[in-house]
Amino acid sequence: MPIDQPPWNDQLDLEAHVRRMVESIERGEEEPADLGAPAPAEQDSLVHPVELAVREILLEIGEDPERDGLARTPERMHRMWLELTCGYRVDPDRLINGAVFDVGYSEMVVIKGIPFYSLCEHHMLPFLGTAAVGYLPRGRVIGLSKIPRVVEMYARRLQVQERMTQQIADFLQQKLNPYGVGVVIEAEHLCLAMRGVQKGGATMVTSSVLGAFRTTKETRDEFMAHLERAVPRV
């Protein structure tokens, strides 16, 4: 069909797919299965503006968007970008889902080695690494699985590492009101490895410390000492 001025309506199957991605973050469901492409009749009548834009990019770089290997690339990229940025749609209250508990525990809680993948907002290339999160409870703790989901919620957006680090810390400080929070993220940025200075293997480390993690050296040192310990192998 001509694609200069195609009609466009919501692609319900794609919306359902992204909704399930969001729910996998909010409720910890298994990774959703690929729902597949729309039926041929739907493909003929629905062309999303994002897919048109991808086609124009392919033309701009000298490719043929009609050749076999690229014919469905605009559709695939549309789906991929929605998956990689579905953190915008996550409802923080649904993510926590009441999993904050009154517990008479006042020692530091640390979870480290949380893997994540995000997109640099400057070039929309990936950066990936691990996050470590710690907090000093004020009589309230959060379910263990919720902390990696908080990291995932902020990672699946267009990001800069500094802001993502701060967002995770602020979120836990707001929801738990602990004595303090510490977040450390270490990541490799493909915009540094693939373009510009092309320095693959370089990593960036960012931290955010709030409350006692900022004001009390002993608390901060304890957090950093936990990060230096090797993760036990099961």
Tell me the catalytic residues. 120-123, 161, 189, 191
Residue range(s) occupied by CATH 3.30.1130.10 in the chain: 98-228
Mean pLDDT of the chain: 88
The domain made up of 98-228 has a fold known as: GTP Cyclohydrolase I, domain 2 (3.30.1130)
Distance, in Å, from the CA atom of 181 to the CA atom of 134, rounded to the nearest integer, reads: 6
Local confidence band at 234 (pLDDT 50, 70, 90 cut-offs) = low
64 bridge partner residues: none
For the entire predicted model, the pTM comes to 0.83
Kindly report, residue by residue over 71-117, the tens digit of the pLDDT.
999 999 999 999 999 999 999 999 999 999 999 998 999 999 999 99
pLDDT above 90 coverage of the chain, percent: 71
User: What local confidence, expressed as pLDDT, does residue 229 receive?
Assistant: 85
Return the residue matching tokens 């000298």.
Answer: 62
Local confidence band at 1 (pLDDT 50, 70, 90 cut-offs) = very low
DSSP H or E run through 121: none
pLDDT at 44 exceeding the cut of 80: no
User: What local confidence, expressed as pLDDT, does residue 32 receive?
Assistant: 45
* Across 7-16, 174-183, 204-213, 217-226, least confident range: 7-16
| Continuous H helices in the chain | 12-27, 40-45, 49-60, 73-84, 92-96, 146-155, 161-176, 190-194, 212-215, 217-228
* Across 34-43, 89-98, 128-137, least confident range: 34-43
Distance (Å) of CA 197 to CA 37, 184, 189, 194: 39, 25, 12, 8
User: What local confidence, expressed as pLDDT, does residue 74 receive?
Assistant: 96
Kindly report, residue by residue over 6-38, the tens digit of the pLDDT.
444 445 577 787 888 888 888 875 444 444 444
pLDDT above 70 coverage of the chain, percent: 86
